[in-house]
């Protein structure tokens, strides 16, 4: 962040001639001299802000024990894997793979599962548990697609 060479204030800085010397000063100090340019652009501030903002967006992940949660909730509802698959409009093999933890559900499927089973299997991404969950979801997404095609 540029700051005023006369008073040290930061903010909108302009180039101005003060007593024949070119200085970068704030708008109020610029009154004492001759302004050479309109507010000094501060490059890199905006892209940085944007990047920071994107990084702090809450990222959602599937909980590690989704398989157990899905299976026990389905059983509580008295549904077979087949019946449950029909309700979800998915193949029975998908349900089976989910319940043995072979694949993680995609986000849309996970939301459907949450609604249907009244469970929580999506959670906000936590830095501390990053490596494990990251690997799980990137591995299982491709795996999930393969299973779906089969
Ligand atoms: Zn100033």
- Indicate which CATH number applies to the domain containing 143: 1.10.260.40
Cα-to-centroid distance, 37 and ligand 1 (Å): 15
Name the domain count of the chain. Answer: 2
| 55 within domain boundaries | no
Cα-to-centroid distance, 41 and ligand 1 (Å): 16
| 53 within domain boundaries | no
Query: Could you tell me if 72 and 104 lie in one domain?
Result: yes
- Domain of residue 5 covers 1-41
- Write down the pLDDT at residue 143: 59
Q: Give me the helices (H) in the chain, please.
A: 27-30, 45-56, 66-76, 81-88, 92-99, 107-117, 130-149
Cα-to-centroid distance, 15 and ligand 1 (Å): 11
Cα-to-centroid distance, 43 and ligand 1 (Å): 20
Q: Residue 134 — pLDDT band, cuts 50, 70, 90?
A: very low
Query: Could you tell me if 72 and 33 lie in one domain?
Result: no
Query: Could you tell me if 97 and 125 lie in one domain?
Result: yes
Query: Could you tell me if 26 and 71 lie in one domain?
Result: no
Radius of gyration of the chain (CA): 28
State the pTM of this model.
0.48
- Write down the pLDDT at residue 141: 56
């Amino acid at each position: 962040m540029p700051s005023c060479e006369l008073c040290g204030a930061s903010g909108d800085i302009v180039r101005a001639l003060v007593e024949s010397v070119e200085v970068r000063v704030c708008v109020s100090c610029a009154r004492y001299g001759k302004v050479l340019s309109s507010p000094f652009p501060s490059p890199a501030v905006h892209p940085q802000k944007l990047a920071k903002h994107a990084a702090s967006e809450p990222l959602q992940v599937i909980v590690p024990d989704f398989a157990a949660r899905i299976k026990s909730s389905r059983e509580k509802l008295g549904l077979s894997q087949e019946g449950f698959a029909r309700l979800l409009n998915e193949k029975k093999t998908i349900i089976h793979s989910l319940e043995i933890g072979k694949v993680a559900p995609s986000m849309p499927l996970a939301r459907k599962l949450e609604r249907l089973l009244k469970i929580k299997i999506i959670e906000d991404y936590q830095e501390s548990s990053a490596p494990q969950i990251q690997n799980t979801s990137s591995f299982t997404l491709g795996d999930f697609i393969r299973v779906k095609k089969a």
